[in-house]
Amino acid sequence: MIKESLLHCAGIGPVRLAQLHEAGVRSWHDVLRDVERLPIGSSAPLVEECDRCIDALETKNIRYFVDHLAPLDKWRIVSEFLDETSFFDIETTGLEHDSRITVIACWHRGEVLTFVEHENLDDFLRLLDDVTLLASFNGSSFDVPRVLDAFHIPHLPCPHLDLRWPCYHKGFRGSLKSITARLGFARPFDLQDADGELAVHLWNRWTLDQDHGARDLLLRYCASDVILLAMLAHRLADRVITSPADWWLPLPSKTELPCAATPVASTTRSTFGVGSPSKLRARGKRTA
């Protein structure tokens, strides 16, 4: 699928793309193999870009595709790298610019991991070093800026793809909740009416009253969003979803404590060097 991404190439728009398809040129390899079929004015830059794309695919340079593919083609990134994609979502104390992150949930390698402020939130930063591709829904506008601010880092150590826009261009429009509801992906009964406003209320009940039930429900709610996001990504990639009920098995139970992040192998060099996430956060605060 991803090899048919041509709209980002110089001189290629919908009309020119249709002409290429009519000539039997549909992929990067077709371009390199059938140069004589290409429009004369755009053949050189088109060939050069297809060479770069093939090299990026061979070296698994996913960031190149995230940064360069046209919006109409970015769903192809999901299709190509779905099995290596981690999905995340955050909850905060509110929608204000200075709202703190309270909970992060991440679907990583088939497991749902949760991270809680004052407990293990820094573990999420460590986890990012083990992420191949990070996906969110509307994360470019909300989740990612909050993460960068919370950890005092200039950028994520892994490529990030906001699935809101690939979904939009594939006809899945609206919020994550509305899209997945239309697709028939129902949350467990205790989460069907949960939303961001409730998440703030649950956090206050936990921090002010030590209500463990509120804490557990908050973690379940955040984790349910990343499961829904993973299911939506499968539909976006035209993957068949079998046994939808089984997708909820990794959801934290009402009494389960948050999972610790899967440790990164000691031989893996952290993108941020030898400094621990806690030290990085402290350093960022001193230099801010």
The pLDDT assigned to 42 comes to 64
Looking at the fold, whether 9 and 126 belong to one and the same domain comes out as no
Low-confidence ranges of the chain (pLDDT < 50): 256-279, 282-288
Looking at the fold, whether 53 and 84 belong to one and the same domain comes out as no
Looking at the fold, whether 44 and 87 belong to one and the same domain comes out as no
Looking at the fold, whether 21 and 121 belong to one and the same domain comes out as no
Looking at the fold, whether 204 and 235 belong to one and the same domain comes out as yes
Looking at the fold, whether 145 and 41 belong to one and the same domain comes out as no
- CB of 114 closer than 8 Å to CB of 104: yes
CATH code of 13's domain = 1.10.150
Residue 137 belongs to some domain of the structure: yes
Residue 69 belongs to some domain of the structure: no
The pLDDT assigned to 288 comes to 47
Residue 169 belongs to some domain of the structure: yes
Looking at the fold, whether 139 and 212 belong to one and the same domain comes out as yes
- CB of 212 closer than 8 Å to CB of 206: yes
- Considering only CA atoms, which of 196, 191, 189, 185 is closest in space to residue 233? 185
The pLDDT assigned to 274 comes to 37
- CB of 93 closer than 8 Å to CB of 202: no
The pLDDT assigned to 252 comes to 87
Residue 108 belongs to some domain of the structure: yes
CA count, 13 A, side-chain hemisphere, 25 = 24
pTM of the model: 0.85
Looking at the fold, whether 46 and 83 belong to one and the same domain comes out as no
Looking at the fold, whether 30 and 101 belong to one and the same domain comes out as no
Q: Tell me: the pLDDT tens digits for 203-254?
A: 999 999 999 999 999 999 999 999 999 999 999 999 988 888 889 988 887 6
**Phi-psi sector, 138: left (phi>0), alpha (psi -120 to 50), beta:** left
Number of neighbours of residue 177 by Cβ within 10 angstroms: 17
Looking at the fold, whether 185 and 91 belong to one and the same domain comes out as yes
The pLDDT assigned to 44 comes to 85
Looking at the fold, whether 19 and 132 belong to one and the same domain comes out as no
- Considering only CA atoms, which of 61, 36, 74 is closest in space to residue 165? 74
The pLDDT assigned to 60 comes to 96
Name residue 107's beta-bridge partners. 87, 112
Tell me how many domains the chain contains: 2
Question: Domain containing 47: what range?
Answer: 2-59
Question: 3-state DSSP helix/strand/coil percent for the chain, to nearest 5?
Answer: 50, 10, 40
Residue 66 belongs to some domain of the structure: no
Looking at the fold, whether 14 and 111 belong to one and the same domain comes out as no
The pLDDT assigned to 45 comes to 87
CATH code of 166's domain = 3.30.420.10
